[in-house]
Amino acid sequence: MNKRLLFSTFVAIGMAGCVTAPTPPRLANPTAPVPPVDKHFWWGTSTSSFQNEDEGLSKTSPYYFKTDWDVFADEGHAPHRGDASSSWTRFDADLAAVKLLGVNHFRFSIEWARVEPRPGVYDEAAIRQYVRMARELRAAGIEPIVTLWHFTFPSWLYDKNDKSAVNFLNPQARPHWNAFVRRMVRELKPYVRAYVPQNEPNGAVQLGYLGGHWPPGLLLRPYSYKHALQASADMFRDAANIIHQERPDAWVIGIYSVPNWKRNFLLDPTGMTYNTMMRQNFDHLDKVYDTVDVIGVNYYYTQDAAISAFLNHGQGEVGSRYTQMGWQIVPEGLYDVLQTVFKRYRKPLIISENGLGTQSEQKKIRYFRDHINQMRRAMADGVTVQGYFAWTLVDNFEWTEGYTANFGLTHFDPKTKVRILGPSALWYRDFIRSHPMP
Ligand code: BGC
């Protein structure tokens, strides 16, 4: 059962009251051609720090750290992630798998808490390791894309006893964020041109401040939601400026969760639910789109925007059209989402995440093949798509769902941590070889 979507959506709709559709931003030049930012198509895959890294430090180390998600797990609201795929101590295994896949791009994220375990105290060895990761990727001919925030905050910005001013709402967050971003970009810039300030801030803020399902676990707090959304947008804009100051030719990528919401005239006659969901897709991006060079669309599923449909959503992997998360597989939804986002912002797009949790390799191959075909259809119809990233490199920690979803292109041996390329990984490799694109 996908409690995450059902519950938070339900709450969001209840809070939203009468909602209008989000007005598209006024573009300076809405008919100008939109060239790709790079001449080669970006084929890639990704990981994220909290979902993949092990701690890699003993509890007695002066640089031992915790994130807000660790505290959230201590509070009993999420499973503990343990050592995940050990991507911190076994980055070599990730790199070997990435090379075998033949992708030309790889996205990973920086764990802010690991780099700054206490306010203003930086772990130099951790910074060096992230720089080494970027350098080794580049040396292998793979362009690194670095995400500076993939959902997790240092625990010193989180107070489990007073959640009214934590994370994005903590007054200390913005100055420390700016210093962290500047430091990381300065260190990484010889090897990294593409940066993602935040991964899916729209989804995380909604789940954390309205749905109560993710940290900080605030439920029914529209005031906090509004402020957290604005604070995250302000921090996004700061980061985009810093990145462009530090490396003027950098690509800033804004990555968003963009499900394909379907208007259902019977179940949602006023369109209130549909409008609410479209706002969750675009309210944050509307505040920052002018700072980004590329927009990343994380597309997983299509869903009727109607409360009664949410109640039937997420019943697990029932049949060939559903995933372990209970998400409905609709490849044409990717086409629709690409058209909508492109028309709204007129920026080059990447499909920054696309994939499914399943143990069926054949289903995974079908999913990737069908979605890539829809991407190519959108490109043929005039949408500028710069790249495609399969989610994810290796089975990992799926947030409140723990280890119950197999999103990985590869699996790993728990003892040796060696990545094992299954049929879907080999399919992706062969597809990339035969479709260098454009
Ligand atoms: C996130 C990933 C997550 C994936 C599948 C996206 O929301 O960026 O961290 O694993 O979706 O749920």
Q: Is the pLDDT of residue 436 over 90?
A: no
Which region among 167-181, 243-257, 312-326, 389-403 has the lowest average model confidence (pLDDT)? 312-326
Side-chain half-sphere exposure of 167, counting CA atoms within 13 A:
29
The CA-CA-CA angle for residues 251, 244, 156, to 5°, reads 95
The CB density around residue 395, as the number of other CB atoms within 10 Å, is 22
Query: Going by CA atoms, what residue is nearest to atom 7 of ligand 1?
Result: 257
- The DSSP secondary structure of 110-126, one letter per residue, reads --HHHH-SBTTB--HHH
- The DSSP secondary structure of 294-352, one letter per residue, reads EEEEE---EEE-SHHHHHT----S-STTB-TT--B--HHHHHHHHHHHHHHH---EEEE
Do 145 and 294 contact (CB within 8 A), yes or no? Answer: no
User: Does ligand 1 lie within 6 Å of residue 398's CB atom?
Assistant: yes
Amino acid, res. 237? R
Give the whole-angstrom CA distance, residue 363 versus residue 228.
38
List beta partners, residue 260.
Answer: 302
What global pTM score does this model have? 0.96
The residue whose CB lies within 8 Å of the most ligand 1 atoms, and thus the one to mutate among 399, 403, 404, 409, is 399
Q: Determine the average pLDDT of the residues in 302-329.
A: 87
pLDDT tens digits, one per residue of 88-135:
999 999 999 999 999 999 999 999 999 999 999 999 999 999 999 999
Give the whole-angstrom CA distance, residue 212 versus residue 217.
4
What is the Å distance from ligand 1's center to 107 Cα?
A: 13
Which region among 15-29, 65-79, 123-137, 240-254 has the lowest average model confidence (pLDDT)? 15-29
Do 95 and 394 contact (CB within 8 A), yes or no? Answer: no
What is the Å distance from ligand 1's center to 62 Cα?
A: 31
Helices (H), 56-143: 68-74, 91-101, 112-115, 124-139
List beta partners, residue 303.
Answer: 261
